[in-house]
């Protein structure tokens, strides 16, 4: 009998082609399953493929009596009770490789759009509203020559650093531990503590997972430590930021602007944030390209195939 994979989304499927011989794949008819259906269908599933908005909690894990693998569609796995899965002997994998360049690319796009005020100009011009065309009106800030502060210098942080170096930026970073000197040299990056990162960054970008330690990493005090000319970028996870504190910092001009791809209560975006003209918003779009999605599917499929064949998997628990 073929093993069963419960797909948490009606995926595009092109990247799952290699699974079709060995596995039976169960997809929702609509975009997503209802929770009741998940609790029912997971009883027979060997594998679950959730994504960011698919909460894989104790109840779901308990219902998965035959479940051996949760192959997450995404690098961040804060949607899964990973510790509980481990207790039940269920392996959890993620997709670090496929999300890497797309996420760094979007981060850089938002950074540029925020610094050079493309978001602001674009909204104004589309709505036929007034932009100050004067030589010295509605000025942006450059990236060239500026200091980029990276919190979390893992794979995505480094992919952002690579783009920043190519754009003539200086890099400082804060990480659990410093990178090997050889890698630091590659980006001409300087390891600093969190307070120095906040104080020295012209642009601050977060690249850490959502965990108990990173919850509200950026709050009232942290925004106050930033330069009034600084730009804040978040393409990691909304939970890293106290959104109300960010709004206050922007309204009180404690920082210059922000570029956000993720929010505390997605897909909800507070009205106050939407009203601020110095904030560029995007809808959790780091990997939102067709090519990106298919690459993620391929990485999910690779993890499933390798798991059952004893090959290498991107295991997180």
Beta-ladder partners of 4: 24
Q: Closest separation between CB of residue 281 and ligand 8YV, Å?
A: 16
Choose the binding region for ligand 8YV from 37-45, 67-75, 83-91, 105-113 (rule: CB under 6 A): 67-75
Residue number with the smallest Cβ distance to ligand 8YV: 74
Is the alpha carbon torsion for 96, 27, 82, 316 positive or negative?
negative
Comparison of 198 and 239: residue with beta carbon closer to ligand 8YV: 239
74 scored as a contact of ligand 8YV (CB under 6 A) = yes
11 scored as a contact of ligand 8YV (CB under 6 A) = no
Active site residue 22: no
Q: Which of residues 77-106 bind ligand 8YV (CB under 6 A)?
A: 99
Comparison of 75 and 153: residue with beta carbon closer to ligand 8YV: 75
- Selected catalytic residue, list 284, 293, 297, 298: 284
241 scored as a contact of ligand 8YV (CB under 6 A) = no
Choose the binding region for ligand 8YV from 82-90, 151-159, 252-260, 281-289 (rule: CB under 6 A): 281-289
Comparison of 64 and 74: residue with beta carbon closer to ligand 8YV: 74
Judged by CB under 6 A, the residue of 52, 151, 173, 263 near ligand 8YV is 52
CA distance 190 to 245: 28
- The length of the chain in residues reads 317
238 scored as a contact of ligand 8YV (CB under 6 A) = no
Active site residue 315: no
Q: Closest separation between CB of residue 262 and ligand 8YV, Å?
A: 7
- The three-state secondary structure class of 305 is helix
172 scored as a contact of ligand 8YV (CB under 6 A) = no
Number of residues located near ligand 8YV, criterion CB under 6 A = 10
DSSP the chain: --EEEEESS----GGGGGGTTTEEEE--SSSS--HHHHHHHGGG-SEEE-BTTS-B-HHHHHH-TT--EEE-BSS--TTB-HHHHHHTT-EEE--HHHHHHHHHHHHHHHHHHHHTTHHHHHHHHHTT-----STTSS----STTPEEEEE--SHHHHHHHHHHHHTT-EEEEE-SSPPPHHHHHHHTEEE--HHHHHHH-SEEEE-----TTTTT-B-HHHHHTS-TT-EEEE-S-GGGB-HHHHHHHHHTTSSSEEEES--TBTTB--HHHHH-TTEEE-SS-TT-SHHHHHHHHHHHHHHHHHHHHT----B--
> Are residues 67 and 48 in contact, defined by beta-carbon separation less than 8 angstroms?
yes
Active site residue 237: yes
- Selected catalytic residue, list 237, 254, 293, 295: 237
Comparison of 73 and 120: residue with beta carbon closer to ligand 8YV: 73
Comparison of 64 and 286: residue with beta carbon closer to ligand 8YV: 286
Judged by CB under 6 A, the residue of 24, 32, 44, 51 near ligand 8YV is 51
Judged by CB under 6 A, the residue of 33, 73, 108, 120 near ligand 8YV is 73
Comparison of 25 and 165: residue with beta carbon closer to ligand 8YV: 25
- The three-state secondary structure class of 48 is strand
Q: Which residues are catalytic?
A: 237, 266, 284
By the criterion CB under 6 A, which residues form the site for ligand 8YV? 51-52, 73-76, 99, 284, 286-287
């Amino acid at each position: 009998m073929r093993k069963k994979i419960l797909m948490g989304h009606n995926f595009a499927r092109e990247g799952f082609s290699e699974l079709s011989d060995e596995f039976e794949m169960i997809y929702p008819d609509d975009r997503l399953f209802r929770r009741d259906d998940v609790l029912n269908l997971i009883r027979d599933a060997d594998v679950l493929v959730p994504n960011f908005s698919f909460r894989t909690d104790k109840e779901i894990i308990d219902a998965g009596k035959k479940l051996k693998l949760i192959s997450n569609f995404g690098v961040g796995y804060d949607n899964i009770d990973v510790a509980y899965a481990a207790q039940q002997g269920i392996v959890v994998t993620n997709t670090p490789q496929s999300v890497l360049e797309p996420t760094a690319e979007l981060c850089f796009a938002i950074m540029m759009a925020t610094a050079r005020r493309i978001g602001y100009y674009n909204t104004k011009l589309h709505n036929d509203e007034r932009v100050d065309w004067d030589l010295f009106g509605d000025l942006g800030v450059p990236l060239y020559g500026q200091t980029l502060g990276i919190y979390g210098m893992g794979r995505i942080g480094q992919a952002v650093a690579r783009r920043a170096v190519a754009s003539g930026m200086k890099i400082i970073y804060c990480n659990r531990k410093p990178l090997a000197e050889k890698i630091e040299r590659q980006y001409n990056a300087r390891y600093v503590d969190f307070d120095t990162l906040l104080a020295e960054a012209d642009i601050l970008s977060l690249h850490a997972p959502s965990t108990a330690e990173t919850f509200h990493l950026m709050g009232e005090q942290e925004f106050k430590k930033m330069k009034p000319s600084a730009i804040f970028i978040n393409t990691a996870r909304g939970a890293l930021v106290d959104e109300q504190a960010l709004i206050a910092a922007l309204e009180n001009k404690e920082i210059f602007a922000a570029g956000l791809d993720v929010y505390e209560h997605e897909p909800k975006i507070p009205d106050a944030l939407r009203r601020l003209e110095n904030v560029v918003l995007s809808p959790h779009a780091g990997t939102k390209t067709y090519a990106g999605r298919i690459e993620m599917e391929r990485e999910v499929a690779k993890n499933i195939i390798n798991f059952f064949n004893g090959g290498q998997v991107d295991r997180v628990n």
